[in-house]
Amino acid sequence: MEDNKEEIVSKNFIEQEIDKDLSEGVYNHVQTRFPPEPNGYLHIGHAKSILLNYGLAQKYGGKFNLRFDDTNPTKEKTEFVESIMEDVKWLGADFGDRLFFASNYFQEMYDCAVLLIKKGKAFVCDLTAEEIREYRGDFKTPGKESPYRNRSVEENLKLFEEMKDGTYKDGEKVLRAKIDMSSPNINMRDPVIYRVARMTHHNTGDAWCIYPMYDFAHPIEDAIENITHSICTLEFEDHRPLYDWVVKECEYPNPPRQIEFAKLYLTNVVTGKRYIKKLVEDNIVDGWDDPRLVSIAALRRRGYTPEALRMFVDLVGVSKANSSVDYAMLEYCIREDLKLKKPRVMAILDPIKLVIDNYPEDTVEYLDAPNNLENPELGERKIPFCKELYIEREDFMEEPVKKYFRLFPGNEVRLMNAYFVTCTSCEKDADGNVTVVHCTYDPETRSGSGFEGRKVKGTIHWVAAKTAVVAECRLYENIVDEEKGKLNEDGSLNLNPNSLTIIKNCFVEPELTKARAYDSFQFVRNGFFCVDCKDSTPEHLVFNRIVSLKSSFKITK
């Protein structure tokens, strides 16, 4: 008889809370959302939020919304809206026809504010921003009530309508919730919920000159869209009482529930929008999608895949405690994703010429090469071979060090997928630099010919000079100087001067002329590379190194 074994499924704390809500009848469905503010490009931390919210909706047969929290037109642009939509789709989070904008709810938010005034729960305040901060107090000192707190309902309604109609200057008056100036939670000390701001909005134009504050708008947006679980990061934990107060006092039935989780922090990377904006404006990087950054657009341009980011997010997991993750884990995920998927091709990044002196002068033969030894399903390709080749400079040493098994005078090596060759001599320029290596080949040792006999310890890759295609390769390191830390004493970024190395005259197989934007390959011994989506053309190929082949990261089981 077979034992009946129950599958044990480990659930994170958010899933446990959702299970409890469904079993107790708090909700009869699950609806989540990703609510970015369109004031910059999304980064790796946002990927975790997107995939978490979308994954929960998928797991519980619910729906997932994409909603732009566009309540602050000073920093928002249509460019950011479009980039965010592209990122979310690329990650595989399908929001269907559920694309929403907070700005589409401005009238309802205004009506909610009027309702609060009528209930005696909001008032128009004339204090300046500095005075409001002073009156608020701190963690040791209770707040002091505004002298305008007890205006009549009628006066507040009149003043608020005048704010909407443009009667007052920016900052002259604000609308504040009337809650509790002695609350130990400073967020509950009569927070500002509307301000006067004459700004053209990317979606509503100049229709409004007052705008709601995030803490007021956000819970209303969730309530309007019937969101059940508002999943957000830990910094909003102290804002949860205000979130609950808004949906309760605005009289929304079946209010959404806010649950907080820990942010994703990567060691020594730049995610702050103000830092990235400065890097862009100072032309240190060539845009928000510069491959040295960890915006989702930058990772995509560098050659990362949605599958690798999903693997990474799964490995990181969902926690209530903030922690940092080593960047090596992200690199591990892309290596794991690409190693069986992508063809392994030959590219020479630092070339010197190899001449096979006894090979026929005008002959070009085509050799069979597997595209990926670990995945035979990727098939084979034909690679041209001729008398003159390019090899990596490091694959020749006139005076070899101990345990050096590549080319040196008198040594025999295998040319990958080709023949055995024996080094005979080299040529040098006036400065003593090696320019040409000479060798002879054994025609009986062609790869795949069934030759059996002597063995060699070294195998090197090569590209036929006659058919080689010139390419540019870009090698990336962390934009931050990891040894010195991310920030200088003055708060500025401590930048790595070697974060980008551009190699102009590389040689690749002619097969790569077919490559198009985002196509990726494993360059033998050099790493995984991706065709740059901005600068590469069929006439001038540009490859970004996604990641090297060596990893310092290990998965422990």
Task: Report the candidate in 472, 506, 479, 504 with the shortest Cα–Cα distance to residue 493.
Answer: 479
How far is residue 218's CA from residue 112's CA, in Å, rounded to a whole number? 13
Of the candidates 270, 276, 265, 279, the one whose C-alpha atom is nearest the C-alpha of residue 330 is 265
**DSSP-based three-state secondary structure for 419:** coil
Q: Hey, is 177 helix, strand or coil?
A: strand
Give the SS3 label for residue 156: helix
C-alpha angle 45-48-53 in degrees, rounded to nearest 5: 135
The pLDDT score that the predictor gives to residue 483 is 75
How high is the pLDDT of residue 387? 97
Query: CA 508 to CA 531: how far, in whole Å?
Result: 12
Domain boundaries, the chain: 21-261, 350-461
pLDDT at 240 (0 to 100)? 97
- Residue 119 tokens read as 């209930």
Residues in the chain: 557
Contact 4, 47 (CB under 8 A): no
**Where do we find the tokens 């002879």?**
440
Distance CA 345, CA 432 (A): 31
CATH number of 350-461: 2.40.240.10
> β-pairing, 229-233 with 257-261?
parallel
- Residues with pLDDT less than 70, the chain: 1-10, 448-453, 551-557
Kind of pairing between the strands at 264-266 and 459-460: unpaired
User: Can you spell out the DSSP letters for 437-465?
Assistant: EEEEEEGGG-TTS---S---S-EE--EET
Round to whole Å and give the CA distance between 324 and 554.
Answer: 16
CATH fold match for the domains 21-261 and 350-461: no
Question: How many Å apart are CA 507 and CA 288, to the nearest integer?
Answer: 29
CATH of 21-261, one of 1.10.357.10, 1.10.20.10, 3.40.50.620, 3.40.1590.10: 3.40.50.620
Handedness of CA 178, 182, 183, 186 (dihedral sign): positive
Query: What is the predicted pLDDT for the residue at 227?
Result: 98
The pTM for the full model equals 0.90
Backbone angles phi, psi at 396, to 5 degrees: -130, 140
In sequence order, what are the residues at sequence separation of 6 or more whose Cβ sits closer than 8 angstroms to the Cβ of residue 478? 268, 269, 292, 327, 496, 499
